[in-house]
Amino acid sequence: MRNTKNSHSWPFRRLGVWLLLLFCGACSPPQDALDTIREEGVLRVLTRNGPTTYYESQGNPSGFEYHLVKDFADYLNVELEMIPVVSLDELFENLHEGRANLAAAGLSITPERSAALQFGPSYMSVKQLFIYNRTLTDKPADYAALPDLRIRVLGNSSHAEVLRELREQYPSLTWSESRDQETIDLLEQLQQGEIDITMVDANEFHANRAFYPDFRIAMSAGKPGKLAWALSKNADNTALQQALETFFEEIKANGELDRLIDRFFTFNERQSFIRTQTFLKMKEQRLPSYKGLIEQVAIEYDMDWRFLAAISYQESFWNPKAKSPTGVRGMMMLTRPTAKELGVDNRLDPLQSLRGGARYYKKLYTRLPSGIEPPDRSWFALAAYNIGLGHLEDARILTEKSGGNPNLWSDVKETLPLLRQRKWYKQTRYGYARGDEPVRYVENIRRYYSLLTWDELNRYRVPPPRIVSDYLPSGLNRGLEAL
């Protein structure tokens, strides 16, 4: 499993190639990158496939990096072309060869990368973690235990740089690097016991943890990494860099960056791990019986079936006979008056219940104030499904009085729990409400929806072909190189 010769010397050889490209590029004046983007009307962006970066969701692009860079393309008033590649190797090579204007792939700013690349403003800090499989490996006590473990990380990654720094303190430390894999492949190797430990960024760990219940954090590694987009030094990026700085200043000021971070990352770390495991178990045992009906209703009401599935699980655990002490019943837990309003004759009929619930959600979505934009509009509609439009509007008014933005879910969800306190609810029209419940309700559904989305991404993903030399013993590689 260990290929220390390839894994440790390769990044420095690659860095030499980058510097050579940089030197050759200096022979003629490079064209202004921003002018090129505007002339062609297209922003070309290299990325990697994964739940924290870019993926296809029911035929539509999604992912944190995608939405962030789509906002930048809209800011420039140009089209966006995403170019997914398999490895960091391929990403950096394509960037230096001018096949894209920038790379947006959850990249950490590191000294080695900064020698050959230009970076835009940092938009997030993430911890770098050593993780292990507790059923196969004992938790390492500290860094001194690492030399005795089989370690594999992504080739040319910031994690490899951390390991090189650690080797100065622990000379016997060895590891191997994969140039043909994504994070999910390393997690699969850890699951199967092919390696003892690997490194991932904290956001990637929390995005994938539900699928690997036996994975644990061994320790943090180095300082938190600052994520940023990368640009090639072979182009004149002066104007593009200025545009990036202005863009990020604006989305930080107007809350859009925080909203994207909240949408894709924040809720992952707060969710009950046991609740997540129960959901995954029910997904395998109960969802198949009702998936066809859920998909049918989702098509009828122009909804993502996984979103409707997440709502119905939160409501009833996909149990069409469910009943609560308050009298709500069925797959979507409708009250008798609501069912009558929606034309549902039999609340225990799963198809009728799903249709009624979907109709009610869409009605609430439409009735929300026009200033609430997607995806927040979906979160507000869910909260209204749980607590009602009246209490939700009370919370929006309190949010605005407190200096928050009543159109942002991240602000209003902080105010909703205050509806339990007399000093706050006495100021409202509809009075007391258990405002913490819709907050948990929305966050649970978002979590379940993400799990269904990422499960499909991983289930139908085709692993890239392996680079054989990365998996051969170092001695055999030396023999092959001599041929």
The C-alpha atoms of residue 427 and residue 398 are separated, in whole angstroms, by 8
The C-alpha atoms of residue 267 and residue 212 are separated, in whole angstroms, by 18
Place of tokens 């934009």: 373
Same domain, 102 and 250: yes
The C-alpha atoms of residue 95 and residue 101 are separated, in whole angstroms, by 7
* Residue 288 contacts residue 302 (beta carbons within 8 Å): no
- Of the two residues 154 and 457, the one the predictor is more confident about is 154
The C-alpha atoms of residue 4 and residue 153 are separated, in whole angstroms, by 12
Sequence-ordered list of residues with C-beta below 8 angstroms from that of 16, at least 6 positions apart, any chain: none
Element (H, E) at 391: helix 389-401
The C-alpha atoms of residue 249 and residue 245 are separated, in whole angstroms, by 6
289 inside domain? yes
220 inside domain? yes
Q: In the chain, pLDDT over 70 holds for what percent of residues?
A: 84
44 inside domain? yes
463 inside domain? no
The C-alpha atoms of residue 442 and residue 378 are separated, in whole angstroms, by 9
Same domain, 131 and 202: yes
Smallest CA-to-CA distance from 2 within 353, 361, 470, 363 is with 470
The C-alpha atoms of residue 95 and residue 22 are separated, in whole angstroms, by 12
3-state helix, strand, coil in the chain (%, to 5): 55, 15, 30
> In this structure, what CATH number is given to the domain that contains residue 153?
3.40.190.10
Element (H, E) at 228: strand 225-232
* Band of residue 404 on the pLDDT scale cut at 50, 70, 90: very high
Same domain, 16 and 119: yes
Same domain, 211 and 79: no
**Residue at a domain's end among 212, 244, 269:** 269
Domain count, the chain: 3
285 inside domain? yes
Same domain, 393 and 451: yes
Same domain, 166 and 277: no
For the cut 60, the answer to whether the pLDDT of residue 391 exceeds it is yes
Element (H, E) at 153: strand 152-154
Q: Which residues are catalytic?
A: 315
Burial 160-190 (b: 16+ CB within 10 A, else e): bbbbbebbeeeeebbbbbbbbbbbbbbbbbb
CA 49 from chain center: how many Å?
A: 11
- Of the two residues 215 and 55, the one the predictor is more confident about is 215
pLDDT of residue 273: 57
The C-alpha atoms of residue 278 and residue 291 are separated, in whole angstroms, by 18
367 inside domain? yes
* Band of residue 258 on the pLDDT scale cut at 50, 70, 90: confident
Per residue in 281-308, pLDDT (tens digit) is 899 999 999 999 999 999 999 999 999 9
Per residue in 132-189, pLDDT (tens digit) is 999 999 999 999 999 999 999 988 889 999 999 999 999 999 999 987 777 878 888 9
**SS3 of residue 450 by DSSP:** helix
pLDDT of residue 102: 96
Same domain, 287 and 385: yes
What pTM was computed for the model? 0.64
pLDDT of residue 426: 85
What mean pLDDT value characterizes the chain? Answer: 85
Helix 33-40, helix 238-253: angle, nearest 10 = 80
Same domain, 406 and 302: yes
Cα torsion angle, 196, 199, 205, 211, sign: negative
* Residue 88 contacts residue 51 (beta carbons within 8 Å): no
Write the single-letter amino acid at 103: A
> In this structure, what CATH number is given to the domain that contains residue 290?
1.10.530.10
101 inside domain? yes
pLDDT of residue 10: 39
Per residue in 76-134, pLDDT (tens digit) is 999 999 998 878 888 999 999 999 999 999 999 988 899 999 999 999 999 999 999 99
Sequence-ordered list of residues with C-beta below 8 angstroms from that of 34, at least 6 positions apart, any chain: 76, 237, 239, 240, 243
The C-alpha atoms of residue 99 and residue 369 are separated, in whole angstroms, by 43
Its domain, for residue 80, covers 4-124+226-269
Show the DSSP H helices in 254-286 as ranges: 256-264, 273-285
- Determine the average pLDDT of the residues in 252-266: 83
The C-alpha atoms of residue 448 and residue 41 are separated, in whole angstroms, by 38
The C-alpha atoms of residue 81 and residue 41 are separated, in whole angstroms, by 10
pLDDT of residue 260: 86
Q: Which of 181-190, 197-206, 239-248 has the lowest mean pLDDT?
A: 181-190
* Residue 180 contacts residue 470 (beta carbons within 8 Å): yes
* Residue 46 contacts residue 102 (beta carbons within 8 Å): yes
Same domain, 390 and 263: no
**Residue at a domain's end among 165, 189, 224:** 224
Place of tokens 């398999």: 86
Same domain, 41 and 111: yes
**Residue at a domain's end among 236, 269, 302:** 269
257 inside domain? yes
- Determine the average pLDDT of the residues in 414-418: 93
Same domain, 236 and 289: no
For the cut 80, the answer to whether the pLDDT of residue 342 exceeds it is yes
Same domain, 148 and 279: no
* Band of residue 466 on the pLDDT scale cut at 50, 70, 90: low
Per residue in 36-52, pLDDT (tens digit) is 999 999 999 999 877 77
